[in-house]
Copies of this chain bind each other. A is one copy, B any other.
Amino acid sequence: MSELKNDRFLRALLRQPVDRTPIWMMRQAGRYLPEYRATRQQAGSFLDLCMNAELACEVTLQPLRRYPMDAAILFSDILTVPDALGLGLYFEEGEGPRFRKTVRSEADLAQLKPIVAEDDLGYVMAAVRTIRRELNGAVPLIGFSGSPWTLATYMVEGGSSRDFARVKAMAYDQPALMHRLLALLADAVADYLSAQIRAGAQAVQIFDTWGGSLSAAGYREFSLAYMQRVVARLPEEADGRRVPVIVFTKGGGQWLDAIAGCGAQAVGIDWTTDIGSARRQIGDRVALQGNMDPSMLFASPARIREEVAAILAAYGHGTGHVFNLGHGITPGVNPDHVTAFVEAVQELSPQYHQAD
C-alpha cells in the first residue's frame, strides 16, 4: 500500500504530537453535498449505494475534494451486520431503517444466520479496498460499525424508536436472552471490524448511537461491556501500524470515566459535554473526539469560527484532540459553512500544538 502522507489524525488518536488539530466530520459524505445527492440518485436506493464499491468510494471521496479533511470514513450503513444476519434491512423514504424480521425470543435468536464478515459482508470489504486504492495514502481511512446495543435496538424494535420500550423491556425482563443477543452481536461486530482492518481500515469507530437511552447501570451492563468485548478482540496493528479505536456514545457525557476505561484509544463526545471538563476528568487516558453542535453549522461563518475557537481553547494545549461535530452533519447545511468550519480548525489550532 502507498505511504500515508497525512497521519495527523492517527497520531492525535494515539496522543502523539501533531502540528495542528486534525479534523473530520461524522456523516461527512452525506446529503448536505449536492454531488452526494446526484450519486445517490444514480445508485438507486441507499442500500444500492452502500453495496456498490465504486459508488461508495465516490461518495467517500467527495467531501475530501471540497475540504482538507484529515481522514476519510467508509461510506456504509450502521445496520449492515443485522442485515447479513438475515433480518432484511430496507429503507422507507423519510422513515428511517426498517427490518423485515425482528428478534424478540429465543426462537428468533436461533434463526439468525451465522456469518463470516469477509464473505457475508464482502461488499463492505470491497468498498474499503477500493477507497484505500483511490485515497492513495492521502489521508487515513476510518472503518466503523454500530455498537452491539445500538444494533440490538433496531433488531428488537424492527426499526427506529422514540422510547425503546420493546428492547428495554427485553433487557430489563429477560436479561439472559438480551445478553445472548449482545454477545452474538459483539462477536459479529469484532469479526466485521477486524475484516475491515484487514481490508485496509486504518482506524475504526464504534457508533453507540443509542447507548444514551439507557440508565447509568443499564449502560454499563448492556452497552459498554459489549463494546469492551469488541475492542478486546480487534487486531492492534495492521501493516506494522497501530489501528486506533474510537468509541462514541451519543448522550454518554455522564459516563466518560467508565467509557475511557473500555480499551479504546479515543472517546467521542457530543456537544452537551464541555470538552475542557471532559479532558480534566479523563486526564491523558484517552484522546477525545468532538464536539461542536452540528446545528452551529446553520449559524454564520463568523459565529462558527468563534465556536471553533472556544472548543480549541477549552481543550487547551497539546495533542489528543480530534476535531469533529458532536454528531453527524445535518442535511440542509450550506457546504460553504463547512469550509468556514474546517478552515477555522486549520487556522486556529496550530497555536495549541507549539512545543513548550
Query: When each residue 211-233 of chain A gets 1 if its CB lies under 8 Å from chain B and 0 otherwise, what string results?
Result: 01111111100000000000000
Interface pair A272/B172, CB less than 8 Å apart? no
Interface pair B300/A273, CB less than 8 Å apart? no
Interface pair A168/B254, CB less than 8 Å apart? no
Whether A169 touches B299, Cβ cut-off 8 Å, given contacts A251-B251, A253-B254, A274-B217, is yes
Main secondary structure of the interface of A (DSSP, over half): helix
A294 in the interface (beta carbon within 8 A): yes
Smallest Cβ distance from A332 to chain B, in angstroms?
7
Of residues 197 through 256 on chain A, the ones whose CB sits less than 8 Å from some CB of chain B are 212-219, 251, 253-254
Whether A272 touches B215, Cβ cut-off 8 Å, given contacts A165-B332, A295-B165, is yes
A4 in the interface (beta carbon within 8 A): no
A: number of interface residues (CB 8 Å) = 37
Please state the number of chain copies in the assembly. 2
Contacts of A326 in B (CB 8 A): 215
Interface pair A172/B310, CB less than 8 Å apart? no
Bound together, the chains give a CA A277 to CA B166 distance in angstroms of 28
Smallest Cβ distance from A136 to chain B, in angstroms?
36
Residue of B nearest to A292 (CB): B215
Q: A214-B293, A216-B277 are in contact. List 20 more A-B contacts (CB 8 A).
A: A163-B294, A165-B295, A168-B295, A168-B296, A172-B295, A172-B296, A172-B298, A173-B298, A173-B303, A212-B272, A213-B272, A214-B272, A215-B272, A215-B293, A215-B326, A216-B272, A217-B310, A253-B254, A254-B254, A254-B274
